Structure 1
Amino acid sequence: MSPSPQAPPLEIADLTVVYPNGLRALDSVCLRLDADERAAVVGRSGSGKTSLVRAVLGLLPPGTRTSGTIRVAGRDVLGLPERELRALRGKVIGYVPQDPFAACDPLRTVGHHIDETWRAHRERPPAGAATAALTATGIDDAGARLRQHPHQWSGGMLQRATLVAATAHTPTLTLADEPTSALDAHLADEVLDAITAACGALLLISHDLSLVARHADTLVVLDSGRVVEHGAAAQVLTRPDSDRTRHLLAAATVPARAHRPNRGAPVAEASDVSRRYRLPGGTVTAVDGATLTVRTGEIVGVTGPSGSGKSTLARIVAGMEHPDTGTVRLDGRDTSAPGPRRPGLVMPVFQDPVTSLDHRWPLWRTLTEPGRARGERPSRARAQALAADALDRVGLGDIDPRRLPGTLSVGQAQRVAIARALAARPRLLVADEPTASLDVTTATEITTLLRTVADAGTAVLVVSHDVPRLHSYADRVLVMSRGRLDDTGYGAGP
């Protein structure tokens, strides 16, 4: 049975999803998308948004119990054999994954991943199609960069590559799971416009309510796997009926923080640092003569366009990369050259939270590992109790510390990564996009926590594209563009 062009792109009726561990991720969900409709699904991390996408794609883990119906262009896809699902993916159903790094094979080039969208259907990739599509999303020198590997791209750039791959066949339905979380607002609008032009109906999963307001026709609010509100986006966002929706809208308002000059002792000092990479297609200057100081009790934010060098600068300051030129000092010690580091001096929170957690370890082991590096050896029962306290501190008090990272949403994984960093009691915390995968309520909780940590004496360096939220808790915000940092900065007000 082939998909019907007359049928709605997506019809979901009474969909219930229960994972093998007993977690009811979705409970009697109903949803319909008409041709060319743009619908958005919002809700707190762990509310079931990604489970909804996986159910439509047939990518739920083995042993998951499902009931209800899912029809794509008139065809029932729930329980469809894998061979038939593969024929639909890409051609009829486009998919933009929430985590572009995890979606890519690190041994393959970015160009290979885009071309695979044709080869998977036994088709030859059109000459120059990938280069033209990437250029349209704002990737400079796209032809040369296609020969690079995923780890050589920033998260925002790789996110755009997955968008190009997802819409290559102009699918009837495109599922976009946080497709712009690593992009600044202007580029996010351009990319979503490009998705809209290259697909039929769009189901957008997003924590960015302002983005939803600009691009969605209808809005669905999920909470604990249930639909608590569904209607026209403009009406839901201005006159919500649900308390959960009102709570999300209140959390999305982020007032600017009054600038407070910091006179604490320097913890991290980068002086005229530069970093260049030799890549297929030439040399890329990621950081060009940047100077930066982060002091005790201070939060310094770095913002700028995707690919501007923010993450590279953060890794240099944290000592995870060494600059080609310039110096870096941590607590007064030169760390520009390779050498031993004091355990717990610096703790990172990575842009890609899922792969930063060891999937073989239960959460309690991940969260107590910083203590082990200091020589602590708690019993298993004590370690689990310490992990439960750490989870509660980042709003995950209902999560069993014996769970594995693979059972968490991306937003929940990010909070675990932050909890792990805080468990080390570092002098310097370096966080790369710490709120990119979080709903607005959780993002507010995390930024409040970062502010509390800084006020207690920790130096904090945050890389983020979310400028309004960064202004709500940072003491200084610096702007990076094409590898160069404006080290004069400006206060927390816009």
Structure 2
Amino acid sequence: MSDSALRIESLSVTYPNGFEALSDVSFSVPVDAAVGIVGASGCGKSTLIRAILGLLPEGCHVSGEITVGGHDVLHADHAIMRAWRGRLIGYVGQDPFGACDPLRSVRHHIEEAWYVHRLRPPADAVSEGLTSLGVADPARRASQRPHQWSGGMLQRATTVAATAHRPLITLADEPTSALDTDLGDGSLILLRKSCRSLLLVSHDLASVARHTDQLVVFDRGRVVEAGQAQALLSSPRSTVTRSLLESSNPQPLRRSPVSAPAAVELRSVSKEYAVAGHRTPVIVDADLTIHRGEIVGVVGPSGSGKSTLLRLLSGQERPDGGDVLTEGEPLWRGPRQRSPRVPRRGWIMPVFQDPVTSLDPRWPLWRTITEPLVLRGGRLSRSQRRQHAAAALEKVGLGHINVTRTPGSLSVGECQRVAIVRAVIANPGLIVADEPTASLDVEAAANIASFLRALADEGAAVLVVSHDEQRLRSYADRVLRMREGKVT
């Protein structure tokens, strides 16, 4: 057994298209220690995780060394890596929905951590694991499908699965991006207790400093600074680290007084879900008005009904009681109406909590981004659509991205910015955004906050659900709080 749980030595990774994602990266994670990885979206963090797990795409050129507990990971065959994943190397992914089979229960997802190794899960393992991470009524909730859980709740279930065998090292890729601060801290404390050593990838510098011993800062595939977490953040040497720290303290953005008419209204709206014969209220008698030119933020613990509120406002779901009005007209006008009536195509545009699966994996970015223009009746050539897409990406700091690329070649944070660009390209009247900055580093999050503020100042109504209350208050006109389905 090595004295390092994980050792990376001179690691370089070049993708088949020639893009060098990592260059001469070296660091280690001692046994029973926690190391944090921070950096801007696209700096190579996700590539590093894939390399350790042996999940890089075919055709990648990889050099250097990766060892876990003294075992050579880089040259291990598929059978050995399959045996090591989960038992030697745990993994909490950034995308909890992508980690789960949508046709099976959450319980199945957790128990698969044993079945994949031909083991039988202990009788109370699922319920005890979910309870330890703050999931109420775990036996009933475990029988539900992934889409019936919020992203933050599902991430906790994924954490239970990842640490089922108490692996030597657990790789956690943005494990708290969909959780509020208190739940995020609690989950990281429990995650730390559940594994021996931890490699934590996160955009939240303050959280990383609280929960890790050492910090490694990445920029464009290279390590630019490393050291003790608290000391490094209190006295950063690199301009990259200083820039990340400055962006992590959002400054209030200038906003104009709102005096425009209402864009959308909820009047005594209620919503229930039926699960296993039980009807559970999710939204209770909600009233809300959002005006043109206004950004309204919604915060609250995971499972409080935030995402359901967003789906009701956007017409993705029909309320069980009450009315939803857009520009004074009912969105739903009778029980036989199969789809909502909106002022025009593209008037309501969503930004989903799960950016990766919201993008068609087969389409190039230019087609995804400009599809709303086509649906509105725009007759654009392929060349024009590429130009529109490139100009839109430039506005969110992705001007360097080739519009012919597919979502699979992007990081989760980059996919989120593509999803936001797609939502706003056709000038919607209402934008409903579910955790639009959760997958972004602090610099990209500040960029998106400014972008949304500018859209509202041009006349759009914006609803933002977020766990990052500090940043939300820096650009929203008002912030509402949800708890147990009630808006306050």
Normalised by the length of structure 2, the TM-score is 0.97
Q: How does 1:287-436 map to 2 (within 5 A)?
A: 287-337=283-333, 338=337, 339=339, 340-341=341-342, 342-436=344-438
Question: Is 1:240 aligned with 2:236?
Answer: yes
Code of the aligned partner of 1:484: K
Q: 1:281 to 1:35 in 2, by over 3 A?
A: farther
1:198 equivalent among 194, 198, 205: 194
> Could you say what secondary structure the match of 1:300 adopts?
strand
**8 A contact 2:255–2:453 mirrored in 1:** no
> Could you say what secondary structure the match of 1:472 adopts?
helix
1:47 equivalent among 17, 40, 43: 43
Question: Is 1:138 aligned with 2:140?
Answer: no
Question: Is 1:160 aligned with 2:156?
Answer: yes
Deviation at 1:262, TM superposition (A): 2.4
After superposition, give the CA deviation of every residue in 1:159-210 in whole Å (9 maximum; x if it has no partner). 0000111111111000000000000100111100101111011000000111
**8 A contact 1:259–1:476 mirrored in 2:** no
Cα distance between partner residues in 2 of 1:281 and 1:73:
48
Question: Is 1:221 aligned with 2:223?
Answer: no
> Could you say what secondary structure the match of 1:425 adopts?
coil
2:58 equivalent among 58, 62, 65: 62
2:110 equivalent among 93, 111, 114: 114
Deviation at 1:108, TM superposition (A): 1.0
Code of the aligned partner of 1:376: G
> Could you say what secondary structure the match of 1:9 adopts?
strand
Code of the aligned partner of 1:454: A
Match of 1:490 in 2: none
2:250 equivalent among 241, 247, 254: 254
Question: Is 1:87 aligned with 2:83?
Answer: yes
**8 A contact 2:253–2:450 mirrored in 1:** no
Tell me whether 375-384 or 214-223 shows the greater mean CA deviation. Answer: 375-384
Match of 2:260 in 1: 264
Match of 1:489 in 2: none
Cα distance between partner residues in 2 of 1:483 and 1:57:
39
1:78 equivalent among 74, 81, 84: 74
**8 A contact 2:256–2:457 mirrored in 1:** no
CA RMSD, Structure 1 to Structure 2 (Å)? 1.2
Code of the aligned partner of 1:471: R
Cα distance between partner residues in 1 of 2:57 and 2:301:
36
> Could you say what secondary structure the match of 2:208 adopts?
helix
Deviation at 1:99, TM superposition (A): 0.3
Code of the aligned partner of 2:353: Q
Cα distance between partner residues in 1 of 2:186 and 2:11:
33
Cα distance between partner residues in 2 of 1:355 and 1:280:
27
**8 A contact 1:257–1:471 mirrored in 2:** no
> Could you say what secondary structure the match of 1:254 adopts?
coil
Deviation at 1:467, TM superposition (A): 0.5
2:28 equivalent among 25, 28, 32: 32
Cα distance between partner residues in 1 of 2:185 and 2:166:
19
**8 A contact 2:355–2:415 mirrored in 1:** yes
Q: How does 1:271-286 map to 2 (within 5 A)?
A: 271-280=267-276, 282-286=278-282
**8 A contact 1:90–1:171 mirrored in 2:** yes
> Could you say what secondary structure the match of 2:366 adopts?
helix
Cα distance between partner residues in 1 of 2:29 and 2:310:
42
Deviation at 1:235, TM superposition (A): 1.3
Deviation at 1:302, TM superposition (A): 0.4
Deviation at 1:255, TM superposition (A): 3.1
Cα distance between partner residues in 2 of 1:439 and 1:218:
19
Cα distance between partner residues in 1 of 2:256 and 2:137:
41
Tell me whether 337-346 or 170-179 shows the greater mean CA deviation. Answer: 337-346
Cα distance between partner residues in 2 of 1:147 and 1:135:
14
**8 A contact 1:144–1:281 mirrored in 2:** no
Code of the aligned partner of 2:395: R
Cα distance between partner residues in 2 of 1:41 and 1:282:
43
Code of the aligned partner of 2:374: R
Match of 2:474 in 1: 472
% same residue: 54
2:442 equivalent among 415, 440, 443: 440
Deviation at 1:256, TM superposition (A): 4.4
> Could you say what secondary structure the match of 1:264 adopts?
coil
Match of 2:169 in 1: 173
Deviation at 1:261, TM superposition (A): 5.3
Cα distance between partner residues in 2 of 1:185 and 1:261:
30
**8 A contact 1:39–1:202 mirrored in 2:** yes
> Could you say what secondary structure the match of 1:62 adopts?
coil
Q: How does 1:96-115 map to 2 (within 5 A)?
A: 96-115=92-111
After superposition, give the CA deviation of every residue in 1:13-53 in whole Å (9 maximum; x if it has no partner). 01011111211111110011111111000000000001101
> Could you say what secondary structure the match of 1:29 adopts?
strand
Cα distance between partner residues in 1 of 2:60 and 2:254:
49
After superposition, give the CA deviation of every residue in 1:277-306 in whole Å (9 maximum; x if it has no partner). 111372222111111111010000000001
> Could you say what secondary structure the match of 1:26 adopts?
strand
Code of the aligned partner of 1:263: S
Equivalent pairs, count:
482
Cα distance between partner residues in 2 of 1:59 and 1:284:
40
